[in-house]
Amino acid sequence: MCGIVGYIGHRQAAPILIEGLRRLEYRGYDSAGLAIYNTEGLKILRSVGKISALAQLVNSAAPDGTFGLGHTRWATHGRPSENNAHPHQVNGLAVVHNGIIENYTELKSRLTQRGRAFASETDTEVIAHLIDIELQSIPDLYQAVRQALAQVEGTYAIAVISQAHPDYFVVAKNFSPLIIGLGDGENFVASDIPALLPFTRRIITLKEFEIARIYRDRVELFDLRTGQPIASPPQTVSLSLQAAEKAGHKHFMHKEIFEAPKIFTDTFLGRIKRDPPRIIFEELNFPAASISRVLIIACGTSYHAGLVGRHYFEEIAGLPAQVEYASEFRYRRSVVLPGDLAIFISQSGETADTLAALKEIRARGLRTLAICNVMDSSIARAAEQVIYTRAGVEIGVASTKAFIAQVEVLLLLALHLAFERRRLDSAGLSGFIDQIYRLPAILERQLTAEETVKNLAARFIHSHDFIYMGRGLNYPIALEGALKLKEISYIHAEGYPAGEMKHGPIALIDEQVPVMALATRGSQLKKIISNLMEAKSRGGIIVGLVSRGDSETRALLDYALEVEDVDEYFQPFVNTVPLQLFAYFVADLKGTDVDQPRNLAKSVTVE
């Protein structure tokens, strides 16, 4: 969740570090800081709040130097404050860190007994003191970092500079992401690729337990545990810098909602064959017949995608499917079976709980498949096989286009397994493929209703509570719609299966609590109409998604949003778009920070 940027070269470091940190804002943060080295020593600048505050500090202090580190912090140990912000400095060395040191209490106690004084409440400062102690007997920064990290239990991506070692800095990785950027007479490091794109496209992604010395003209990689040199050829990133820009939209989230049709197309291209009909996943190498159950593990929005996927696997592929919160699955004595396929879903590929659950499942011998958006991410590397969603960089903290792509991959995978297991014949598969090809144009038409959604959203900006309800495939979409509203507008919203309303939630309904009912055509439409009428009779204001042309259902609602009439299996895509737009416009009209909502982070890299 924190962001790290480092630079060593011939240019002034401060502007490069600030620019890199700005491109990591999507990760979430509550404070930021820089450490700049020059012949006078280390200059530390830190501030609470937005990077713009740090930039103002930099402009007034004008730190000179071509070597430095930057950091955005998301508090885990110690409240947001200038003292707790990184970098942490001890006797001429500065440390920035992403992760959690699990034995920091024990280490801090030991260091305090040795007379060490602490200036912060963070676990990171412990690392700085450990390195400083090692430097007293090992005048080599690289070796001192290795020895210090050998005492640490937990996760980290770390970067260290020392005024006694002005020719290089040291970085190391265990669990948390870290990427080296290679330039001409200059080199970089960052937590994610977007921070490097303005400066270089040649990168080296650090793997688990790797450590590097980064000089101006070279990078040296080693195994953190053994000290043995490592050869890691650089890769060239093809991602355009413009992909991280807003392209004329007011917010990244708005831009990303409107990318849904393109993303839907990108995700299926090369994976569908029409004649003869086939779903092709070159990434997969397991026989479909060997799978007896699907186990889906995820968090947040990805969990909701998994709930949709459960319907696809059970109803289309005929496979039992179970969906688990990663944070709960890890701590339960769950029963897994030899025929299970464990699927781990994460947009960033860095979600800490999901990654930890993946490692546990692998240790238990199950087959693992990751569905990720970010290439070469930790989850993608840890799984045996990976399917990338191809959604591109998603900057807005609240996931939109990546959710569409995740659900699509799950649908394609279910179709693939159904066909291979002979649950679906060529004619049936061809029918699905035809609908898949039609869907991007349908999503484009859905987006043309933007003004209608905006006008509806304006009616509810003063609401304090919202209930979303759906049945079948629309239940996970109700959950996701409620999550989007609460994430970015700060309106309390909850999603429920419509059939559960009478078992408790209906007690909340009155004229102050609007209900968003997903009432599109399908096998359970009559049931959900009964549920929404129950809510209406209690004074509830009923807002509904209705299929185009369904005037009968529309007449029962106080407010309606029409959606394209599609097969039930494709309703999750069509119904998601107006709910995302509704949440977006409520938040925008309220004036909240849409792209970076409070207390949230794009990549949740700590538990």
- Residues assigned a catalytic role: 2, 602
End-to-end CA distance of the chain: 10
Q: Quote the DSSP letter at residue 319.
A: -
* Spatial distance between the Cα atoms of 310 and 364, rounded to a whole number of angstroms: 23
75 vs 32, 321, 553, 589, 603, CA distance in Å? 11, 36, 48, 29, 14
Q: Which residues contact 40 (CB under 8 A, 6 or more apart)?
A: none
Query: Rounded CA gap, 401 and 228, in Å?
Result: 42
Greatest alpha-carbon span in the chain? 81
**Cα-based angle 285, 288, 290 (whole degrees, multiple of 5):** 100
Residue 311 sits at the vertex; the CA angle it makes with 309 and 315, to the nearest 5 degrees, is: 125
Using alpha carbons, select from 101, 109, 23, 17 the residue that is nearest to residue 65.
17
Q: In angstroms, rounded to a whole number, what is the distance separating the alpha carbons of residues 460 and 376?
A: 41
**DSSP state string for 122-186:** -SHHHHHHHHHHHHHH---HHHHHHHHHTT--B-EEEEEEETTEEEEEEEEEESS--EEEE-SS-
Q: Is the peptide bond before 87 cis (omega within 30 degrees of 0)?
A: yes
Please, how many CA atoms are within 13 Å of residue 372, restricted to the half-sphere of its CB? 26
CA distance 6 to 402: 29
Helix (H, G, I), strand (E, B) or coil at 467: strand
Q: How many residues does this entry show for the chain?
A: 607
If we measure between CA atoms, which residue out of 17, 150, 137 comes closest to residue 87? 17
Smallest CA-to-CA distance from 452 within 558, 551, 560 is with 560
Rg over CA atoms, the chain: 26
Give the CB-side neighbour count of residue 81, counting CA atoms within 13 A. 9
Ramachandran quadrant class, 300 (left: phi over 0; alpha: psi -120 to 50; beta: rest): left
Cβ contact 312:411 at 8 Å: yes
